[in-house]
Each structure stands twice: as structure tokens, then as C-alpha cells.
């Protein structure tokens, strides 16, 4: 089946409003989460090894996401009873409770709408991550292949960085908060006129007028 005419949401787009069945009941995304950040992530299938390690990793960091006013939501093309049974298995066998809802996208419509189905992998969902802000805008999208588990600390770092950028009008450097050049400092947006360029180097620490940084 060709995907040529199907438009997936992009960074900066409004996340499409949808009503979904989850292990915590029916919810509207992103409407029911207005005022909160949402980390929506898909996994290929329940009862698979890599996905199990990912769910344990997300669950162990759930409190950290909650501290950042963010809600985790999982998704796969499985029925809700499969999700529930897998939840129970993880808690019974691995002593980890899954505190967040999992969308039961048994028809695959949600995954298709937001580009979570890999055309070369049948009907299973890839490892996609959408970070949605409190206004329902998609701020970050990450895709991993089925064969590689995600780095949840990087997802947490990205969420923190987005919030810091929004709150302070700054950019965040590579590997923040352990950047090789400026450590945990943040970057001032480059000047867009001559006068600002001249004054910028007097106001901040700079490598040049276009690369100035400060502490938060």
C-alpha cells in the first residue's frame, strides 16, 4: 500500500484530536490533557522482549515525567485485553507496575494517522515518540527501528530542554546539560541586526556575536 498521499503530522502541527480506548478507559488526545505535556510512544507488540524492557524503563521514570507535568501514553496495534494481560505479566514477573495508559489501537487507525506504521514491517508499529505540549502542539518526534530500544533518559532530557527553551527564550546545546563547550549553560538566540550584534558581546559571554551563552 502506498503512503504517497498520506500526510503525517509534523513538528509544529496541532496533534489530531482523537478518542481512543486505553487500559485506563476511553480518553481524548490531546483534549483530556490540556495544560499538560504528553509523551506518546508506540511499540511494535505486547509480549516482546525489547518492548518489555522499554515499558519497565518508562515505568521506572514515570515520577520524573510527572514532575515535569508530563503524562506518558503507550500505543500498539493490540487489543486492550492483550495490554492488560501484559501489564499483569510485567507486574507479576518483573515486580514493576505500569502506571500509564496504553492505547489499544486494534484497527490500526491511530497509528496510520500519525505515521507510526512502518510500510516494510507489516501492520506493527515502529518505536515512535511524540512530545506534545500543553497546547496540543507537536514539539518533538523521534523514530527508532523495531530492533533498537529507546533511551528514556534522552526523552526526559529533551522534554526538560523544550520546557527550558520555552520558559527562557533560549536554545539548548548538544549533550546538555553536559555540553563539551559550555557545560549546562544555554545559548542566546543570534542577533538579527547590526546594533544587537554589537551589544550582544557586551551583555553575555560569547565566542562571537552569533554564539553567546549564559547560565540559567
Claim to verify: residue 76 and residue 182 sit in the same structural domain = no
Domain at 213, CATH number:
3.30.1020.10
What is each CA distance from 122 to 30, 60, 85, 142, in whole angstroms? 27, 31, 23, 20
pLDDT of 126 reads: 81
68's grid cell: 515535569
- The vertex-151 CA angle with 58 and 158, nearest 5°, equals 90
Claim to verify: residue 118 and residue 42 sit in the same structural domain = yes
Residue 159 in domain:
no
Bridge partner list, 115: none
pLDDT of 117 reads: 75
Average the pLDDT over 186-213 and give the result.
94
Cα 69 from chain centroid? 13
* Average confidence score pLDDT of the chain: 92
Claim to verify: residue 114 and residue 196 sit in the same structural domain = no
- Greater confidence (5 vs 216) lies with 216
The end-to-end CA distance of the chain, in Å, is: 49
Claim to verify: residue 121 and residue 56 sit in the same structural domain = yes
8's grid cell: 503525517
Claim to verify: residue 23 and residue 81 sit in the same structural domain = yes
Cis upstream peptide for 155 (omega within 30°): no
Claim to verify: residue 37 and residue 108 sit in the same structural domain = yes
Residue 86 in domain:
yes
Claim to verify: residue 174 and residue 79 sit in the same structural domain = no
23's grid cell: 487500559
Active site residues: 51
CA distance 138 to 136: 7
What's the domain range around 210? Answer: 169-216
Bridge partner list, 188: 212
Claim to verify: residue 77 and residue 173 sit in the same structural domain = no
CA distance 151 to 61: 11
Label residue 3 by pLDDT band (50, 70, 90).
very low
Indicate the number of domains in the chain: 2
Residue 26 in domain:
yes
Label residue 116 by pLDDT band (50, 70, 90).
confident
Bridge partner list, 72: 39
Residue 158 in domain:
no
Claim to verify: residue 120 and residue 195 sit in the same structural domain = no
Amino acid at each position: 500500500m502506498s503512503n504517497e498521499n498520506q500526510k503525517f503530522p509534523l513538528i509544529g502541527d496541532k496533534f489530531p484530536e482523537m478518542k481512543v480506548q486505553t487500559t485506563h478507559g476511553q480518553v481524548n488526545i490531546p483534549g483530556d490533557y490540556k495544560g499538560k505535556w504528553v509523551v506518546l510512544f508506540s511499540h511494535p507488540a505486547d509480549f516482546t522482549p525489547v518492548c518489555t524492557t522499554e515499558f519497565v524503563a518508562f515505568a521506572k521514570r514515570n515520577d520524573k515525567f510527572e514532575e515535569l507535568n508530563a503524562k506518558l501514553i503507550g500505543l500498539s496495534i493490540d487489543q486492550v485485553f492483550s495490554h492488560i494481560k501484559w501489564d499483569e505479566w510485567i507486574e507479576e514477573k518483573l515486580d514493576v507496575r505500569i502506571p500509564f495508559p496504553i492505547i489499544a489501537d486494534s484497527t490500526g487507525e491511530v497509528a496510520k494517522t500519525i505515521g507510526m506504521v512502518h510500510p516494510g514491517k507489516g501492520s506493527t508499529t515502529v518505536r515512535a515518540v511524540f512530545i506534545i505540549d500543553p497546547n496540543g502542539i507537536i514539539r518533538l518526534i523521534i523514530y527508532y527501528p523495531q530492533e533498537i530500544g529507546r533511551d528514556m533518559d534522552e526523552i526526559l532530557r529533551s522534554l526538560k530542554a523544550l520546557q527550558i527553551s520555552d520558559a527562557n527564550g533560549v536554545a539548548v546545546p548538544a549533550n546538555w546539560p553536559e555540553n563539551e563547550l559550555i557545560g549546562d549553560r544555554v545559548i542566546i538566540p543570534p542577533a538579527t541586526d547590526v546594533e544587537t550584534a554589537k551589544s550582544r558581546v557586551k551583555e553575555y559571554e560569547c565566542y562571537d556575536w552569533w554564539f553567546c551563552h549564559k547560565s540559567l
